[in-house]
A and B are shown apart, each in its own frame.
Chain A
């Protein structure tokens, strides 16, 4: 019997789908290449020093990105410190504790957080959250406000405001992936714990321990989101390129400096310095995403198809 050759399956169809498929793969490669090319002047001029220098002066042609990296890591880290426990709590509540009838509406509401545009978070941040942060700072006793962590004038726009907005924005991502991961914990893990007389919390702890790798992945995914978030952060962080330990100090992030200065950068070096920041943003989120996906895949291989999407789209059948 003759085996059908691959050429038999109609070539036109294959071509029709292969070209767009190549395009999708090429797009990611193109982003990397374009960013590298357009950052070359800055890479050549400053080398590795770009990341440790603290002066950012477009007029003098001096570009050091440390304050932006600092602000990005600090605000995202602080946001995760708030969002991770809350998201895990939400996931536990929705998988295990929640009465059946409440589950669907609560899932819907928590995922609604992901559907709200970043600019709306930013607007709300400027006019509601920032004044609230100022009030909080004024209400703190002087002894606490003297600490390096809380020092500085009461301006409102601050690292803390950015971290708070970010934490709300990443909660739906972390909680929805954590929920998936918890659901992938084999039923017998819970049942075994209950059979041994465990309380609900003890059984949950067994499940959380079983799912810990996936949960770390979920939190990292949230970190990737937080690092790349632009508008809401730009609007509330104060945009001041001064690295500081104080959560009440106005600071700056990598995404924010690109948003603010890119359209107005006239000098090539300035432009290239901004693109280099974009390049690092790209590589960071790339690595974080790859690592977190690897962890989540490892945790729940059979559910991998639904995980890749945003929480809202993940509900699509």
Chain B
């Protein structure tokens, strides 16, 4: 029986799944991916970690528990410290394998390479570690990596393709694992599309453009997601047309508590309408639907009826004379 590697469909899976899957496929290793998040998975995750942990990590633990039940021989849980120079991911990602070991999930051996580009870890070492249980043949590993990297690049390019659109563009700012997990964000993208909006995410903006835009920020932002979001926001501000920004974050996210504040301040200066959606374990959809509809309606009214008294950001725009 061939060995199976389990990939939890959570956290960085949403960003790097083409890479991971292609890599193991090229090595001839079978991969099992946990199903899309559902209530059962979320509940399992909530039981595995302390309450204070943020939603995405809870979801991650749920996926791991699911995979362990499905019987994977190895679990791929990289310790993602940093994927680019001068920027970290998040403290919780750094401690992920340790948190997993401390949890009560009965788990198969972990494949947990340390991926840290702040300090230069040689790529070869990471790759060797990823492939260690299956092969030590470097030629084979490197070939698999080349192929996987192509695949990932292709995927990123496909994401960037955007059809020029008519009506209203909404920039959805959020971490990949919130934006692409359709269960925890209650299919936000589809909801927006049904309301006739075109949805842009940070993934639509090329890395170089992001790095150029982030220069405008007075200090260096040392989180990759923070850089993505701020860069995307700056880029979006320069775009013409009718637009609004939805900021999607998870309850208790340490990074977003700061980054969102920076972004909101800048959007407010530019008078760009924005909506802050915070996700947690609650799954009532009604509230979210109402907020989205209202948000989109308000943006359209501001255009169609020139209703200058509709505030983009909570500022009082009423007539002073009328109240006098």
A and B part of one assembly: no
**Residues of chain B at the chain A interface (Cβ within 8 Å):** none
**Residues of chain A at the chain B interface (Cβ within 8 Å):** none
